[in-house]
Chains A and B, each alone.
Chain A
Amino acid sequence: MSSTSAPLSAPLAARAGRARRLASSPTLSFIVRRLLAAIPVLLGVTFLSFVVMNSLPGDAAQELLGAQATPAEIHQLEIKLGLDKPFLTRYWDWLHQAVIGHLGHSLSSGQSVASILGSDLPVTFELVGFAFVISLALAVPLALVSARKPNGVADRLSMMFSMAGLSIAPYVLALVLVYVFAVKLNVLPAIGWVPPGQSVWQNIRYLILPAVSIGLGLLCFYTRLLRADLLEQMQGEDYVVTARAKGVRPWRVLTRHALRNSLFGLITVVALNLGTLLGFTVVIEDIFGIPGIGHELLQAIDNRDIPVIEGIVFVFAVIVVLCNLAADVLYSVLDPRIRYGRPTE
């Protein structure tokens, strides 16, 4: 600005300017604000699960020792496990350990919660990831074919298919698939899981049925969503009119121009779904005997194993919060018309 500044300081000033711009960037301050707002949510979720688990009859000491144990024995183990301390003290102890990244040890097996999460989360993630890949890979072409000719034969068929798919309970689909592919045709395994380290091929074979059970509902949901958005883009947007006016073929407008825009919306929904989906996998893991996080959670509730439950609930909640945030941020980054922190007019 002023001509007196030395030439050397110019890049420095530019860097300082960039830093200031970054600090005052609406997106960044939006992210920071959202992360701060997530803290009470995480506190609430972990506290609530503590309350819920503590209001249950029986505790870990009782579950570990079984029905024959004398009250004295139970009391001794309670002291050893720290269950005799007041409720709020225990929550506080857990919380301040968790803040420094120490999630504690399982009351029943003594294993560290971090290692339990480390061994079970990847299994669930693989299952969910597989389901996502299947559903997205099919949803995009289905939606494109539908949107190419709204109310055409292909569109009606795909809308009927997706309505049916949305109305099937995942566990019903799982049982039907087991009956057809495992019991009758005997081509795919019905229960169990093989780690990918052992055999990638077997791992995929074991995951197909559970992943399809979860993925079909997603596929149908995404197809309907993407079709609706594509139609909206094709009918109202200026860039579509421009592309058409300069002579781009309709199919190309759909696949190159409209799809790009519609995919943004889809990505945000996918990110939002991820959290909800983690809860849904529990029943599927149960049916197919997959040693994922849902299986671990059910077992931990049975054992009143509060550190494990808290760990899982905490990780779930963090994932949900991060996914929500990622969805909102992606939405604004991908679509420049939406900017957080600025007036929307």
Chain B
Amino acid sequence: MADLPSDLVVAGVAPAADEAAVAKAGGWWRGRLGVTVPAVMVAFIFGLCFIWPIIGPVPPPTGGNILSSSLPAFSPGHFLGTDAVGNDEWSRLLYGGRASLEIALAVQAIGIVLGGLIGAIAGYLGGWRDATIMRVLDVFIAFPGLVLAVAIAQGLGPSELHTIWALSFFSVPASARISRAATLQLREQTFMTAARLSGTSFPRMLLGHIAPNILPQLLTYALLGIGIIMILEGALSFVGLGVPPPAPSWGNMIAQGQSTISANPRFVFLPSAALFITVVSFNLLGEGLRARWGSQ
């Protein structure tokens, strides 16, 4: 109980407390539609960003002709116009989405694997080992991620990989806390005691018994967290980390467009809209899945 309030917040979107309420009250949303619609949206966005540039007529996102710069939308050959240096805006949106999605997925994958493992070990072992692991995680949670991000940007230089590292500092402790809380609940179950008494080894216990049981919870939180990570990726572009231009990411497109917002607002609004739609889709999918699993 003592950990409840702290565990609520790391998830960022909404706490587990409303599972019962959603299950009882959210009949309209609990239905299949609540999962199918956002899942289709997410699949569509993935298809657009990862497959369409390969099979469709999409010009490269960089190295555009300066002579055709800042073309308005619906120009011939450039469906959304071109940016300030003549790159096709539609292409930049697709490739930018690719970078943003790659970063978000990689960060959450690292979070689930590393954080999930750390949290499960802490929760399962308990005692001083649990306390030590949690204090170390507290250090990372209390550490201003921005200092780290700017330091990485200045020390190692901005790159997609470095952005993933910096953002994992957010996702690993968050996942670890959720995984620990779930493991603590699990530990008292009869089948866990049975497994322990029958001499199951520690790694087998961890991977065979704990992991499959806490994975659904971790995955839902990871889905809900993808939106937050995508938003943070953009925030890092404002402070000099993130994907380095000229390569596009939604975050750096927004940050770059900021300076010309009064003359060319679409340079901000197009990537913003793409980011918004994607984050909404992931959030709805996470909510939908949680409502469904929570009701079981």
Contact = CB atoms under 8 A, between A and B. Distances in A.
Contact of A328 (B5, B227, B234): B5
B8 A269 contact: yes
B13 interface: yes
A340 B4 CA distance: 12
A169 B141 CA distance: 21
Interface string B1-34: 1101110110011110110111011111000000
A87 B7 CA distance: 36
Interface in A24-61: 37, 40-42, 44-45, 48-49, 52-53, 55-57
A41 B261 contact: no
- Does more than half of chain A's interface fall in helix, strand or loop, or is it mixed? helix
Interface stretch (A122-130, A242-250, A317-325): A317-325
Interface string B130-160: 0000011011011111111011001100000
B234 A169 contact: yes
Contact of A171 (B5, B235, B262): B235
Interface residues of A, number: 73
**Residue of B18, B136, B144, B275 with most chain A CB atoms under a 10 A cut-off:** B144
Contacts of A275: 142
A56 B239 CA distance: 16
B84 to A, nearest CB: 16
A176 B6 CA distance: 33
Among A57, A228, A229, A280, find the residue whose CB has the most chain B CB atoms closer than 10 A. A228
A228 B22 contact: yes
Contact of A37 (B14, B135, B148): B135
A229 B18 contact: yes
B210 to A, nearest CB: 22
A229 B239 contact: no
Contacts of A327: 5-6
Interface stretch (B63-71, B111-119, B182-190, B277-285): B277-285
Given A45-B142, A279-B146, A287-B238, A150 B6 contact: no
Given A287-B238, A301-B154, A172 B276 contact: yes
B89 to A, nearest CB: 17
Given A48-B139, A286-B238, A228 B17 contact: yes
Nearest to B278: A167
B265 interface: yes
B238 A164 contact: no
B94 interface: no
Given A49-B147, A228-B14, A298-B150, A171 B254 contact: yes
B21 A231 contact: yes
Contact of B20 (A179, A232, A316): A232
Contacts of B261: 175, 178-179, 183
Interface of B: 1-2, 4-6, 8-9, 12-15, 17-18, 20-22, 24-28, 135-136, 138-139, 141-148, 150-151, 154-155, 227, 231, 234-235, 238-239, 254-255, 257-258, 261-262, 265, 268-269, 272, 275-276, 279-280, 283-284, 287
Given A169-B254, A175-B257, 15 more contacts: A52-B147, A156-B28, A166-B283, A169-B272, A169-B275, A170-B235, A225-B15, A225-B17, A228-B17, A228-B21, A232-B17, A232-B21, A275-B142, A282-B239, A301-B150
13 contacts: A44-B139, A52-B148, A151-B28, A167-B280, A172-B272, A175-B268, A179-B265, A275-B142, A278-B144, A283-B239, A297-B147, A301-B154, A344-B1
